[in-house]
A = this chain, B = another copy of it.
Amino acid sequence: MRESYTVQLDDLASDLAQMCHLAEVAMASATRALLTADLALAEETISSREPIDVLAVEWEQKAFALLALQAPVAMDLRSTVSGIHIVADLQRMGGLAIHIAELARRRHPAHVLPPEVEGVFAEMGRVAVDQAHATRAVLLGRDADLAAELQTKDEAMDELHRSLFTLTSAPDWPHGVAAAVDITLLGRFYERFSDHTVEVAKRVIFLVTGEFRPEES
């Protein structure tokens, strides 16, 4: 029984890492679909919604069964309760990547992005994918130091996000309101994706240290 309990806990941890990997892949392909107006890739990204949602529901069911049948305490309980938050963050990260792909699909065959913001979004995509990749490592290694480092990484994303406002608010912005509205929404999706990686990092710090920290709201 004890062994099966440990196996269950390990399963829960590796499922989180797997979900994080799916969110990373979705973000990478959503960004590529956005930058290249690739309809097939946008569709493929959108179709990753179901496996991510299924994993999330299964994860919750397994965690619930573990709490009900094993009544974990201390570190094991923290790990399960943190996981309940983390699974929601990871699912949302997948959802945000899919929102990006949906916008690429909606505007196809047109490109969503005017040429002068393509570089910013390529960089936002790179930062987001890096953050998801580091988040997976944090989850696998339960590494509080790496998690603390990840918390500071969203400064790069915030800076990129601000640069979008500067571009679209310039008096000589030549691409009109509709393009600016799309860019505003996309910028928000990338920024929120990044925020969720930071939330996961905070939860891992709690898991490891037992210290509660208030979430940013």
Contacts and interface: CB of A to CB of B under 8 A. Distances in A.
Interface string A56-80: 1100110110011001011001100
A5 interface: no
A133 interface: no
A213 B64 CA distance: 14
Copies of this chain in the oligomer? 2
A6 B97 CA distance: 42
Interface string A84-106: 11001001101100100000000
Interface in A171-209: 173, 176-178, 180-181, 184-185, 188
Contacts of A178: 168-169
Closest 8 CB pairs between A and B? A95-B217, A71-B71, A53-B214, A184-B184, A177-B180, A181-B184, A84-B84, A57-B214
Interface of A: 49, 52-54, 56-57, 60-61, 63-64, 67-68, 71, 73-74, 77-78, 81, 84-85, 88, 91-92, 94-95, 98, 165, 168-169, 173, 176-178, 180-181, 184-185, 188, 212-217
